[in-house]
Structure formats: C-alpha cells, structure tokens
Chain A
Amino acid sequence: MNKKYWLFLDSHTHCFVKNHEALFYNTLNGKILRNTHADIIELSKNLTSKKNLNVIELDSVSIENTETSKFIKDLRKAFMGDIIDTSLSTEKPVQMMPLVKINRDIKYLKEHPMRSVGDFLMDYLSELNLFLNGDCTQNCTFCSYAYKQSNCCTKNEGTEISITDIKALVKQVESCTLLNFNIFGGNILNYSHLRELTEVLDEFTATKKIHIHYQDFINARNLNLFQKPAYEIKLIVPPENNSEAIALALEIGKKHNLNLSLIFPIESEEDYYITEQKIKCLELDKYLISPLYNGENTSFFEKNIFLEEQDICSYKPSSKEIYAREKINTNFFGKLTILSDGRIFANVNHKELGVLGQNTIYDVLFKEMNEGESWLKVRNDAKPCCDCTFEKLCPPISSYEYLMERNNLCHINDSKV
C-alpha cells in the first residue's frame, strides 16, 4: 500500500534555500545540515513555500527515493523535522513559518501615506559615540584607522567640540532610552569643558564609557570626575612593552575606586601573543582584545578572524538573532557617532548624516532611516552574501568589511571558489 506522510520542519528549524543549496539550522542544538542535491533543493523550496508552511505530503514511494530517504534521515537525526502518518489527522497541519514581520517596518512606513519613516525614530537611539577633541600627545600607529572599526580614540579629526552644541544635543535626547555614552578624544582629559560635560552626562542613567590612552590616564589629575557608578573607564593599551605602566594604571584605578577595563588593539599574531602574555602576567579579568585591520594584515584576518562553519555552529544564533539579521544591522543600529569637528555619522565609514549645531538629531535619524547605509544594511543587500545560505546565520556586516572592501569575512564557501 502506498502510505502517505506529512514531512514537516520543527518550529525551531530554519531553512534557507538558494539555487545551489538548501541549508537547515536547528536553533536548539546549533546543528547545520547542508544539501546540494537538485531534488532536495526543489523539495525544500516546496516545503518552505507560502502555501505549504513547512509541511508537505510525501508518499512511501517518494520517501523510498534514495536522496529523499537520506535527507529525511539526516533531518531526523539533527532533530529538525519528522514525518508523520497522514491518517492520524483529517487536515494538513501547518507550521507557523517564520516570515519575519515588523509592524513599523521601514518599507511599510515609506509606502503608507499616513505613516512616516520618522514615526517614533528617537526610540531607536541607544548609543552615542562622542569624540571631544583632537588634542593628544601620544603617537599610536593605529590612530588614523582604529576608530573606524572599533571603540578607540583618534586625533585624526582635529578641533574641539563646542560644549554649547553638546548641551543642545543632550537636550534633544533627554527623553530617549539611551543605554551608552561612549566618550573619546584625542585626550579627553584635555577637553576644555570636561567638568561641565560630566555634569551634563550625570543627568542620564546611561552608562558613560570614557576611553583614554593608558599613559594619559597615568598622568591625569582630574580622575575624580569619573568616580561615579555609571562611569566606566576604558584604557587603550597599544601592543608595546608596557606591563609595568599597565600595572601602575590599574593601581591608580583601584586607588580612585574607578570601574576600569582595558582595550588591547592588535594587528598581528605577534601582537596577540604579547597581549596574551600581559593578560596572564597581570592576571587581568576585565579586558577586550580588539583586532584592527591596517590595510596590510589581510592574512592575519583570514587566519584568525574569518568565520568557519564551525564557528557559527558553536555560537548557536537564536531565532531572534536570525530575524534581526534579516531586518537590521545590529552592529550599527541605534548608534550615532559625533566627531570632534561636529560631523555626525551612523557609521564613520559612511557618508555623514549632518553636523552638530546645524542639524537636529531628529533630522539625522530621519536621514539614516530614510536613505542611510548603516542601520538597515543587511547581508541580503551585499554580494556575495545574498547568494549564500549562511546569509542570516552570519553576524551582521561590520566595519571591518567596509575597510577591507569585501563582505564575506568567512571561509564558508572557499572550496567552491
């Protein structure tokens, strides 16, 4: 007898089908199943079609087909789906297929005559990066490019930001649910209105992250300004022979009761090993190693930063992260950077959105939502990622990609190239 079955995907399984491959991902155990057989790609397309909602009927003859049979076996083994006798029910079951829906989706807001791209946009602002000045006596090699790819200071952008403009800015964002203020120099300790600035920032419950070169920190005379619970001091520590100085900085931090952590920019494996030694030697527990692309260390990135399929499996992105990666760039979304010359960016590697004192934050956010290149830039907009089944599993596009001028910082499809 030709028995009939429902083949269904479990709700914790995501299926991504492109012309060359069908990929199944289980959010519960991080398992990934890839299949390139034309029959299975076709079956997967059919299975995930809007009319089938992740459930299709198969008969025992088609199940016995070698490829289908193997596919079902693999699917079951990874706890991604199952088959079930159709005679157990009278209607075809449905799975609530994860078609991501955002009620205030940008596309809807643009198309609907009674809505605006600017609807509730200030609610999205969560982080402000504020570069106060360009005044700095340090000579870090990465000064001109580190701030374009990570949380780092720079004296590259010159001048000093006006405190009047900062106050006006703060007035505009006082009702926003800001989570972080990241403060950078130059050397912020030389900022002419530092006390006034901290008084303004104290009005916010957001965390204030103050970034200072460790040498400037050691020489600082006004650290008492940051002796408050919502302040965090991030010391920038270049890869040089400086263990003793770091120890001194830590001691000063302790003495002043500051919430201190260290950022180690690295550009090579050698930098990494030096840094690792320091971390071990000083028994550090609050630190971040921050790889920097300097235009010449592509091989360092290829070897150490680029993702493998295994990295994605071990990270185990959740359904929510997958949905987010379809709609927004979580690396940049909600963040604005204001350089010391007043220029405002959603990402410093993109076009400026406005100028402090000339444009309001409302204008700037409206521009980013309406025509920006950062907050809503997803892998589906970028080649070759848009053709890859890992598109929504990979982390969002980062600043590294903009600087390296390539999107796929991964080895996933290397064998096919």
Chain B
Amino acid sequence: MSQGGNTYMCSLKHKKTFFIHPLIQYLHNLRKQGTDLKSWYENIVSFPLEIEGMGAYTREEISYNISKFILMLKEGYFESYDNKNRIGKKITSEDIKTGIANVDHVILELTDQCNLKCAYCGYGKYYDGLFDERINNYLDPEVAKNFLKNLLGYWNSSYNSSHGRIINISFYGGEPLLNFKLIKDLVSFVKSYGLKHNKINFSISTNGVLIDKYLDYIVENQINLAISLDGDQNANSFRVFHNNKESYSKIIKNLELIKKNHPIFYKEKVSFCSVLHSRNSVEGIHEYFKKEHNILPNIAGLKSNGLNKKYEKEFWKMFNHMGNSFKNQNTSKGVKKDLFKQTPEIQGASLFIHKYNDHCFNNYNDLFFNKQEISRTPTRTCVPFAKKIFLTVNGKLLPCETISHDYFLGDVTRDHFKLDFGAIEKRYEHYFEKIRKQCNQCYYVESCHKCIYDFSIDDKIVVCDSFMNKNKFSRFISNHLNFIEEKPENYSVILEEMQYE
C-alpha cells in the first residue's frame, strides 16, 4: 500500500506493478490463508459488508471483484516467483571473450604518480591498502601497446556484435598528463590500427594542472578532458599540491586558456567531476559551475567501502551524503531541475519503473523473450571485462578501476596477454556460490546494485547488506509509488529521458 492509502501489487513473475481495487488484495489474502472464496461469499450474512479499514462493499462489488480476481488468478498474476532459476547462470569463457570484444570502456593507468595530494584520494590514508603501493611508477609503453594490440584483435573478431559503436579509451592515473608521451604514443598506435567495427573516443581523467602544457595536442586530437574540480576555491580546497598549496587557481587559469583559445573544444569536449564532501554541497557545486563554467558536473560521493579503521572517524567528518545534500531544504528547485537525472529520488524511481514494469525492455530482442525466465548470475556483477577493462601501471588486468588490485584477473607484459578464462570462470562461480543462497531468498534481485567486489568476498561467510525480505521489499516499492503518486508527471519524463540498461 502506498502512503496515500492506495493498494498496489507487484508481480515479480510478470514484471509488473499495478494499482488494484483493495478488494482484490483482500481476496488474495483470504485465498493465501486457505479460505475457499466461493463458500466465503455464500456465507456473508448481510450487505453491505464492512471490512475493517477498507470500507463497506455491496454484494455486486464483492461478486464483481471475485470474478475479476479469478480472471487475474488464471493468468498467474498472484503466482509466487522463484529466483533460483533466474540467478542460476554461471559465467563462461565465451561470455568473457564476448565481453572483451564488446567492452564499453578501456582504462589505462599511465602512472601511479600524482602532482596533487588530495585529502580524500582513493589511494590515500583513508583506504585500507587495497591497491598496489604507489611508487611513482610509469606504465611501460610496450606493455600498454601489447595490451591494446590484443584488445584490438578482439574488437575485430566475430565476437564483436556491433558496428560503428564507440569504445572509450581513458588515460588514468595518478595524473596521466605526467606520462604525456605515452598518451601520444598510444593515440597514434590505436589510430594506425585498422578497426573494422568500432570508433574510438579518447579521454584523459585529469586534475587539470598540466593542461596548458599539452593543450594544442589534446585539441588537435579531440581528446575529451574529464577534469576534477569540486567547486569554488573553498570547495576545492581538499585538492592540494604536495606542499599543501591549493590547486584551484592553477586549474582556473588553465580553464580560462581553453575557453579563450578553443571555445568549441571547451563546449564539446570538457567535462567536470566533482566530489561531494564536507566543504561543498550539491547546491553550491551546481551554482558555481552554472555561473562560472556553464557546464554541469557529474557529482560523486566519497567512496565509503574499504576504509582504514585508523582514520575512519576522520573520514566520516569529511563525508557528505549525496541523498541528504539533495534533500537539503536549501537545494533550490532550479538545482533539482538541472540535476534532475542525478537526484536520488529520480534515480530510485527510474530503477523501479524500468525494473518492475513489463513495458520496459533493454533491447528489441527482449520483445520476443520473457526476460524473467532467462537465467543470469547473482548480484549485479558485470561479466568480467564486458563494461570495463582496467590495466594498472604494473600490468594487472582488472574488470574495474574501483576494485582492489589484489583481485586482478590476468596480467600483461611486453610479451604476453595472460587471461586464464577457465580460472576466471571458476573464481567467479566460487564467489557467486557464497552469495547465491541469499539471492535466492531476496526480493530485491531484479534491481540489485551489488557487485561481488562490494563484499568482503574472501570471508568465509558473506552477508549482503542490501538483502530484502518481503516486508522490506514492499516498503521499497511503496516508497517509489509514493514518489510517483506525488509527482506523476515524472513518470513519463523518466521513461522518455532516462536509460537503465
């Protein structure tokens, strides 16, 4: 039931959420308790029948709703849904090869060295040694080329199911511009390779300090710049040089340079990433970027898993919760409008609408098959390398840049590109087995957002903090229905403007 007092049902089997007459729900409950509806109806002594908390109903209303209930029952609307088959799939070598050939995003860590010492750095003191030690290392150009050569082979193979699709190659660090020569080498290496099916989009994730040195090349090669900037000077004050001097003025100077000399490039190829923390807010970040740069940034919260216990207290002082920051009364309507898609409520409603309604499909093939009957793996863990391939500065291969380097799945040297598909299959199945039992019981399976690496996966017993029993799931559904009841106009906007693949 929604807060507004309306009765809804969610059929996981039919992937459908729907408003119903409360009598239908009442009849469903009676039947579940083992009541024979025919004799129940025949034994009603007088009409209208008063049902506690639901009002009074005439003979016609009850008889009508019994008939409708039976009709829905015959179509399986009230059948329970067993997750077991849904999440029974194992990842296979073929899945992994197909994943590599169709990857979205390739990330190369060009160096672990950085010219800044940001307080909240993911490789800094707040996180518990999940990553290889930062020793000012630089990625060996031959290793990087061997890595890309192998990927290019996959992209040209029949495992690739796309034509004209864009693959993003990102240069990452540390600060990637510290290894600019390698960027140039790799861009020309990829460009010289005959790609049959894909287009490449290069980007650099940078703190912006060194842009002025290399701007002409970057503009000439139309390389996207994803610049980290947390807002105005105070908001950006966690981002400092090694001598603790703030980086803000240097970055602004570089931004002015791009705007002045390459205004079209600035408009089309520059984006910003802002980290939300105790010195800024969603409202502040939004106001600043709109006024100063006329580009809205992607706002991300601080990573709060893998924390170093020693500094945990200090970390939480710096932490600013995204949802709370959006909900803050000071957050104006204008901000919410501009950042519509990033609003937690909208993201939640989008997830709900896309996952629990039978008119939402991922692709055209889904119109032919019943997706609920197609087996997939537990959690929302990606097939390794299907979304991202991350090469560390030390040649380790990981399925994502946010995963501890201890969990590398293969490695690249100058001479080899080593991925043992069989071993990866086994490892993932070992991980999935640890969580499968919980997933079997969980009502949240369809919209699960958990990656296997979010858990302490090496522990003997793995517990999912997002597990939902029936009651918790009902509250989850209710919350989203409340939101849509309050703002029904968002329903079609979400379906028209938001993607949930």
Q: Nearest Cβ in chain B — how far from A241, in angstroms?
A: 41
| Cβ–Cβ < 8 Å partners of B17 in chain A | 96
Question: Is there contact, CB below 8 Å, between B492 and A99?
Answer: yes
Per the bound structure, the CA–CA distance linking A12 and B16 in Å amounts to 10
Per the bound structure, the CA–CA distance linking A98 and B19 in Å amounts to 13
Per the bound structure, the CA–CA distance linking A12 and B358 in Å amounts to 11
Question: Is there contact, CB below 8 Å, between B488 and A53?
Answer: yes
Q: Does A280 contact B (CB under 8 A)?
A: no
| Cβ–Cβ < 8 Å partners of A88 in chain B | 5, 22, 54-55
Per the bound structure, the CA–CA distance linking A161 and B317 in Å amounts to 72
Closest residue of chain A to B69, judged by CB? A79
Chain A contact-residue range equals 35 or more
Per the bound structure, the CA–CA distance linking A62 and B288 in Å amounts to 52
Q: Does B367 contact A (CB under 8 A)?
A: yes
Question: Is there contact, CB below 8 Å, between A116 and B75?
Answer: no
Which residue from B64, B163, B359 sits with its C-beta under 8 Å from A323?
B359
Question: Is there contact, CB below 8 Å, between B164 and A116?
Answer: yes
Question: Is there contact, CB below 8 Å, between B158 and A171?
Answer: yes
Interface-facing stretch out of B252-260, B396-404, B479-487? B479-487
Which residue from B5, B357, B486 sits with its C-beta under 8 Å from A96?
B357
Known contacts A11-B16, A12-B75, A93-B4; is-contact A101 B360 (Cβ 8 Å): yes
Question: Is there contact, CB below 8 Å, between A120 and B363?
Answer: yes
Query: For window 76-114 of chain A, which residues contact chain B by CB distance below 8 Å?
Result: 76, 79, 82, 84-85, 87-104, 108, 114
Which residue from A29, A93, A101 sits with its C-beta under 8 Å from B361?
A101
| Cβ–Cβ < 8 Å partners of A327 in chain B | 364, 367
Query: For window 365-384 of chain A, which residues contact chain B by CB distance below 8 Å?
Result: 365-366
Question: Is there contact, CB below 8 Å, between B19 and A103?
Answer: no
Closest residue of chain A to B18, judged by CB? A11
Question: Is there contact, CB below 8 Å, between B499 and A333?
Answer: no
Q: Does B324 contact A (CB under 8 A)?
A: no
| Cβ–Cβ < 8 Å partners of B496 in chain A | 99
State the majority secondary structure of interface residues on B.
Answer: mixed
Q: Nearest Cβ in chain A — how far from B124, in angstroms?
A: 31
Known contacts A10-B18, A79-B68, A85-B55; is-contact A93 B6 (Cβ 8 Å): yes
Q: Does A255 contact B (CB under 8 A)?
A: no
Which residue from B5, B163, B368, B486 sits with its C-beta under 8 Å from A121?
B163
Question: Is there contact, CB below 8 Å, between B495 and A101?
Answer: yes
| Cβ–Cβ < 8 Å partners of A99 in chain B | 359, 491-492, 495-496
Closest residue of chain B to A77, judged by CB? B64
Known contacts A96-B17, A119-B165; is-contact A103 B485 (Cβ 8 Å): no
Closest residue of chain A to B168, judged by CB? A114
Which residue from A50, A323, A366 sits with its C-beta under 8 Å from B164?
A366
Known contacts A85-B55, A103-B361, A319-B359; is-contact A175 B161 (Cβ 8 Å): yes
| Cβ–Cβ < 8 Å partners of A50 in chain B | 489, 491-492
Q: Nearest Cβ in chain B — how far from A335, in angstroms?
A: 12
Which residue from B74, B98, B359, B492 sits with its C-beta under 8 Å from A175?
B98
Q: Does B2 contact A (CB under 8 A)?
A: yes
0/1 interface trace, chain A 316-331, chain B, CB 8 Å (1 if under): 0001100110011010
Known contacts A123-B363, A175-B158; is-contact A362 B368 (Cβ 8 Å): no
Q: Does A176 contact B (CB under 8 A)?
A: yes
| Cβ–Cβ < 8 Å partners of B75 in chain A | 12, 28
Which residue from B21, B159, B488 sits with its C-beta under 8 Å from A84?
B21
Q: Does A308 contact B (CB under 8 A)?
A: no
Query: For window 307-362 of chain B, which residues contact chain A by CB distance below 8 Å?
Result: 353-354, 357-362
Per the bound structure, the CA–CA distance linking A373 and B185 in Å amounts to 44
Q: Does B197 contact A (CB under 8 A)?
A: yes
State the majority secondary structure of interface residues on A.
Answer: loop
Known contacts A122-B161, A333-B364; is-contact A95 B485 (Cβ 8 Å): no
Known contacts A50-B491, A96-B353; is-contact A173 B158 (Cβ 8 Å): yes
Per the bound structure, the CA–CA distance linking A333 and B358 in Å amounts to 21
Q: Does B419 contact A (CB under 8 A)?
A: no
Q: Does B26 contact A (CB under 8 A)?
A: no
Q: Does A41 contact B (CB under 8 A)?
A: no
Which residue from A97, A102, A103, A173 sits with its C-beta under 8 Å from B491?
A97
Question: Is there contact, CB below 8 Å, between A319 and B358?
Answer: yes
Q: Nearest Cβ in chain B — how far from A50, in angstroms?
A: 4
0/1 interface trace, chain A 45-59, chain B, CB 8 Å (1 if under): 000001111010000
Query: For window 354-409 of chain B, which residues contact chain A by CB distance below 8 Å?
Result: 354, 357-368, 370
Question: Is there contact, CB below 8 Å, between B19 and A82?
Answer: no
Question: Is there contact, CB below 8 Å, between B489 and A120?
Answer: no
Question: Is there contact, CB below 8 Å, between B162 and A119?
Answer: yes
Question: Is there contact, CB below 8 Å, between B19 and A93?
Answer: yes
Q: Nearest Cβ in chain B — how far from A104, in angstroms?
A: 5
Query: For window 56-84 of chain A, which residues contact chain B by CB distance below 8 Å?
Result: 76, 79, 82, 84
| Cβ–Cβ < 8 Å partners of B492 in chain A | 50, 97, 99
Question: Is there contact, CB below 8 Å, between A98 and B359?
Answer: yes
Q: Does A117 contact B (CB under 8 A)?
A: yes
Question: Is there contact, CB below 8 Å, between B197 and A95?
Answer: no
Per the bound structure, the CA–CA distance linking A121 and B162 in Å amounts to 5
Q: Does B501 contact A (CB under 8 A)?
A: yes
Question: Is there contact, CB below 8 Å, between B162 and A102?
Answer: no
Which residue from B6, B74, B358, B495 sits with its C-beta under 8 Å from A320?
B358
Q: Does A124 contact B (CB under 8 A)?
A: yes
Question: Is there contact, CB below 8 Å, between B164 and A52?
Answer: no
Q: Nearest Cβ in chain B — how far from A92, in angstroms?
A: 7
Closest residue of chain A to B94, judged by CB? A175
Per the bound structure, the CA–CA distance linking A112 and B452 in Å amounts to 31
| Cβ–Cβ < 8 Å partners of B159 in chain A | 175
Known contacts A123-B161, A123-B365; is-contact A95 B18 (Cβ 8 Å): yes
Q: Does B47 contact A (CB under 8 A)?
A: no
15 A-B pairs besides A118-B197, A123-B365, A172-B158 with CB distance below 8 A are A11-B18, A29-B71, A88-B54, A92-B488, A93-B6, A101-B359, A102-B362, A103-B362, A118-B164, A118-B165, A119-B165, A121-B161, A121-B163, A122-B161, A330-B368
Q: Which residue numbers of B lie inside 8 Å of A, CB to CB?
A: 2-6, 8, 16-22, 54-55, 64, 67-68, 71-72, 74-75, 98, 102, 158-166, 196-197, 199, 201, 353-354, 357-368, 370, 481-482, 484-486, 488-489, 491-492, 495-496, 499-501
Cβ-closest 6 pairs across A and B: A91-B4, A11-B18, A118-B163, A89-B5, A118-B164, A122-B161
